[in-house]
Structure 1
Amino acid sequence: MKLVQSAELPVPAGHYSQAVEANGLVFVSGILPSAGAVDALVDGFDAQCASVFDQAEKVLRAAGCGVCDVVQCTAYLVGVEHWPAFNVLYAGVFGPHKPARAVVPVPALHFGYLIEVQLIARKPAA
């Protein structure tokens, strides 16, 4: 098991890694739109979604992957009303690539955030 840490993002404050590489897969921990700065709450669902996927791309890059290598995405959304906007933003990030996906409406997330995303990617053949 190899721990992955993007130099572009703060080290996680909790007892976890940004991602872990194991057996040719990269498991990206749940990403909130904070980038480590809880007091800098990004306003609005679209901006929070963009922040989460920007961070995800940085973690994937640190692992030697890109969004085209993502095989599974789980998104936790506060309120089902954000689902249509998420679909549009998600399609913008992944384009024609369509990983397996689960969208889970939840009543609340830590610090009042509206979205959290967790990913699994495959390491490209070297």
Structure 2
Amino acid sequence: MKQISTSDAPGYLPFLTQGMVSNGLLWAAAIPRDPKTLDIPATFEEQVRLSFRNLAAVLDAAGLTLDSLVKVNVYLADMADWAAFNEIYKEYVNLSLPPMRCAVQIAGLNNGYLIELDVIAEVEES
């Protein structure tokens, strides 16, 4: 296994890993915190975009892009945000080969987050 770390995504707790490569796959998670200030945006849309920017930073640290995504798990504080999430999601994923995805509502996401992501991405074999 190989740990992936970048200062371009939040890494505010020493016992959490931004990403891990194992068996040709990258496992990563993204939260809506600014990587420099650790601030959390107020609106759902800002939190989604920041989560995807943080995710892209972790993927980049592993030499990957959002096009490498195989599976996306979306955790929403309120399923009423599902349609808004879908519109923003289409800005970030490869629509010609979209990753598998599920979205679930989780009451009481940590720190008042309105969204969290976890993903699996394919790592190119060298």
1:13 aligns with 2:47: no
Does the aligned pair in 1 maintain the 2:10–2:33 contact within 8 Å?
A: no
**CA-based RMSD:** 1.5
* Runs of 4+ with >3 A deviation: 35-38
* Residue-by-residue CA offset, 1:51-93 (whole Å, 9 max, x unaligned): 0000000000001111111000000001110000011111111
In structure 2, the residue matched to 1:42 is 41
> 88-97 or 47-56: which moved more?
88-97
Task: Using the TM superposition, give the Cα deviation of residue 24 of structure 1 relative to its aligned residue in structure 2, in angstroms.
Answer: 0.7
**Aligned residues with identical type, % of pairs:** 28
Structure 1 residues 87-106: aligned runs within 5 Å: 87-96=86-95, 97-106=97-106
Q: Secondary structure at the match of 2:120?
A: strand
Structure 1 residues 18-33: aligned runs within 5 Å: 18-29=18-29, 31-33=30-32
Rate the CA distance shift 1:15–1:60 in 2: closer, same or farther, 3 A.
Answer: same
Amino acid at match of 1:120: I
In structure 2, the residue matched to 1:68 is 67
Distance in 2 (CA, whole Å) between partners of 1:41 and 1:112 is 9
Task: Using the TM superposition, give the Cα deviation of residue 14 of structure 1 relative to its aligned residue in structure 2, in angstroms.
Answer: 4.2
Q: TM-score, normalised by structure 1?
A: 0.90
Unaligned runs of 5+ residues in structure 2 are: none
Amino acid at match of 2:26: V
In structure 2, the residue matched to 1:110 is 110
* Residue-by-residue CA offset, 1:83-124 (whole Å, 9 max, x unaligned): 000111111111413101010111221111100000100012
Rate the CA distance shift 1:95–1:111 in 2: closer, same or farther, 3 A.
Answer: same
In structure 1, the residue matched to 2:52 is 53
Distance in 1 (CA, whole Å) between partners of 2:21 and 2:101 is 20
Q: TM-score, normalised by structure 2?
A: 0.90
